Amino acid sequence: MKYRSGWISGLLVAVGIVFASQEAGAERIGDLARVQGMTDNPLVGYGLVVGLPGTGDTKQSPFTKRSLVSAIARLGINARDLLAGIRGHNVAAVMVTARLSPFQRQGARFTVRVASVGDATSLVGGTLLMTSLRAPNGQVYATAQGPVDTSAPGRIGERVNATDPPEGRRTSGMVDQGGLVVLGVPVPFNGRHHLWISLDRANFTTAARIARAINAATGGRPAVAEDGRSVQVEIPEGSRGDVVGYMARILNIRVTPDRTPLVVINQQTGTIVIGEGVRVSECAVSHRDLSVVVKGKKVVPPVKDKSVPLTYLARSVTLRSLVSALSALGTRTDDMIAILEALKASGALEAEIRVVG
């Protein structure tokens, strides 16, 4: 009896270890996918940034002057006769972009981005005038205005010539909480018979696992994986009056996804985030005056510059080691992106590359 008890205890411990190991890599469905209808809506507008200390658009951007006259005219001031006399360089034409999150109602605030479309050298110290933000259907859903912040990481520019501002050409920035929703986007859920869960990253294995996990948790077969990105969920008749609560329980179910190694590159800040276990197999890449060879434990730096010491790496190295070696050689961010994309195209890098910023 003691032997059997000990055997059962040992079995339970082993099962517990298996469950723990499976749970360790599990994630909420809500972190892997989103319910259809919960997607962001892109908004765009054209506006003016005023109050610049002589770093705005010049006569090489005539549309800025006309836009300023139109803006003044909408305020009830007739400035069309003064068009020829406007010479100040304290105004810049910009494009304003934003993403309207789902379920935001009238009066909600959000952050917008601005970017110069003229020849302004800096937006530092400027203020965005009220700008209408439109969706792809042409409808105005929000407005934006406020001081432009160019101090965020990645906004620091470079001085192209001696006449540029000391801080460099900062021609893009953000208006924190400068957007105001004037027309919300209603997304009704209660009363629906079906909903679709859309995976953030398409994967047949993950979609099948999500469907199996939902069916196991509900004791039925309400979920069917339609393809590598979509899972259809049938809403039980008793839950159709509270679809939000039902889907909240569904999205909290934990699933172990089929992970694909990911490399994220911010081209403005030069930041590179490498997922765990990303490796590079034998290959050779030549980019401009830089040659990279992953074979026989070495990476060869610029061929023309014999003064640069060799950097040695193991065969089939990790991508982290390769990036560190390239950084030690002073490789620029754009060159780094080109090399990684070439490695991906050749099949030497088995990971997804995502460029942001």
Condensed to tens digits (0 to 9), the pLDDT of residues 132-190 reads: 999 999 999 999 999 999 885 444 444 445 555 555 568 889 999 999 999 987 777 78
Token pair for 197:
């869960």
Distance CA 293, CA 281 (A): 10
Which residue type is seen at 73? A
Q: How confident is the model at residue 38 (pLDDT cuts 50, 70, 90)?
A: confident
Percent of the chain with pLDDT over 90: 29
Which residue type is seen at 252? N
Domain count along the chain = 3
Domain hosting residue 194, numbered range: 188-259
Same domain, 47 and 177: yes
Could you report the per-residue pLDDT of 293-313, keeping only the tens digit for each?
665 444 444 444 444 443 434
**Best CA proximity match to 130, nearest among 80, 67, 82:** 67
Same domain, 151 and 253: no
Looking at 199, 224, 259, the residue that finishes a domain is 259
Q: Name residues whose C-beta falls within 8 Å of residue 332's C-beta, 6 or more positions apart in sequence.
A: none
Distance CA 241, CA 35 (A): 17
Same domain, 246 and 299: no
Residue 92 · residue 126 · CB < 8 Å: yes
Taking CA atoms, 201 is separated from 22, 214, 291, in Å, by 21, 19, 33
Range in 67-71, 201-205, 234-238, 326-330 with the lowest mean pLDDT: 326-330
Could you report the per-residue pLDDT of 241-293, keeping only the tens digit for each?
888 889 999 999 999 888 777 788 877 777 778 777 677 777 666 666 666 66
Number of H helices, E strands in the chain: 7, 17
Helix (H) or strand (E) holding 246: helix 243-251
Distance CA 201, CA 8 (A): 41
Q: Name residues whose C-beta falls within 8 Å of residue 233's C-beta, 6 or more positions apart in sequence.
A: 194, 195, 196, 197, 214, 222, 223, 247, 250
Same domain, 169 and 62: yes
Distance CA 143, CA 346 (A): 46
Residue 36 forms part of a structural domain: no
CA angle 160-164-169, nearest 5°?
Answer: 70
Same domain, 46 and 176: yes
Residue carrying structure tokens 């980019």: 287
Percent of the chain with pLDDT over 70: 74
Residue 211 · residue 175 · CB < 8 Å: no
Residue 23 forms part of a structural domain: no
Could you report the per-residue pLDDT of 48-75, keeping only the tens digit for each?
999 998 888 888 888 888 888 888 888 8
Helix, strand, coil tally for the chain in percent (to 5): 25, 30, 45
Average pLDDT over residues 103-124: 91
